[in-house]
Structure 1
């Protein structure tokens, strides 16, 4: 009776070891972080216009209060490398969707805007109301008639 139990226990361990050793490892999780890092690196590229360095620091997507649209929060780091003060605000930025729709900042939101002293940095947020199906867009710095800098943006998952 004892020999049967030892034999069954031994076969169970052998079977479990064989199944684990011959299993197929899940490699899909290994690839996902690399893709996200690449997308983040592309977004965080610094653009320089007239000695002013501009960089997207963070993207955050939430649902609007009525649930009809999404709100994209874009956090910007702007460094004034010139010798004179520089004024900039969320209204200087626009978002162009893949469907060639231009979206201006939400005027009701608390968008950034200030004068940056020479050698100083401003960190601020701009808010855009997006259609729910938006996956990609282009953030455009356009203080006047002509676009001066652009970033390709992949819209993140909602938090």
Structure 2
């Protein structure tokens, strides 16, 4: 079942990439995806200056909904970012408002995920894993504003 879902997801993502090739603004912002337990929606992407001019801090605001009847924890470590070549970028965890908390049953929260990226990077794939050391259950193509 997991392979079927991943195949369908890969097909959908390939469709988004092929459609997006003609339009650089085509992204998955505001697309709700995730596992049956949690739904995640990236709602806003911004850039901040970093210590060097060659790097930027990417801030991705996400809305997270707990679809279960028990509290579930989620944090920035549940997310990864990679570019079109598959290079992964590190979480930037030095912000006090980084996502990392327990979501009460049936509730929705908003939090931020930070990545350190090259200043020249214009878009990338952010994925979400429900539990560490498992395959991603959701992936979004996001466009990064400004340089």
Query: What is the CA–CA distance in structure 1 between the aligned matches of 2:123 and 2:54, rounded to whole Å?
Result: 18
Unaligned 5+ residue runs, structure 2? 1-22
Q: How far 1:107 sits from its partner (Å)?
A: 2.5
CA displacement 1:81-127 (0-9 Å, x = unmatched): 21111100011101011221111311323321100010111100011
Higher helix share: 1
Separation in structure 2 between the aligned mates of residue 43 and residue 84 of structure 1, nearest angstrom: 28
The separation in 1 between residues aligned to 2:26 and 2:47, in whole angstroms, is 16
Structure 2 CA distance, aligned partners of 1:123 and 1:39? 23
Paired residues of 1:93 and 1:104 also in contact (CA < 8 A): no
Is residue 61 of structure 2 the alignment partner of residue 75 of structure 1?
A: yes
- Runs of 4+ aligned residues of structure 1 deviating over 6 Å after TM superposition are none
Structure-1 residue corresponding to 2:52: 66
Task: Indicate the residue corresponding to 2:122 in structure 1.
Answer: 135
Q: TM-score, normalised by structure 1?
A: 0.70
Q: Distance in 1 between matches of 2:119 and 2:34?
A: 31
Provide Cα deviations, 1:34-90, integer angstroms capped at 9, x if missing partner. Answer: x78x636x3210003123111001000122133230111000000112111110001
Contact 1:91 1:104 in 2 (8 A): no
Equivalences for residues 8-157 of structure 1 within 5 A: 39=26, 42-110=28-96, 111-142=98-129, 143-145=131-133, 146-157=135-146
Q: Runs of 5+ in structure 1 lacking a partner?
A: 1-34
Aligned Cα RMSD in Å? 1.8
- When normalised by structure 2's length, the TM-score is 0.75
Query: How many equivalent pairs are there?
Result: 122
Q: Which has the higher contact order (CA 8 A, sep 6+)?
A: 2
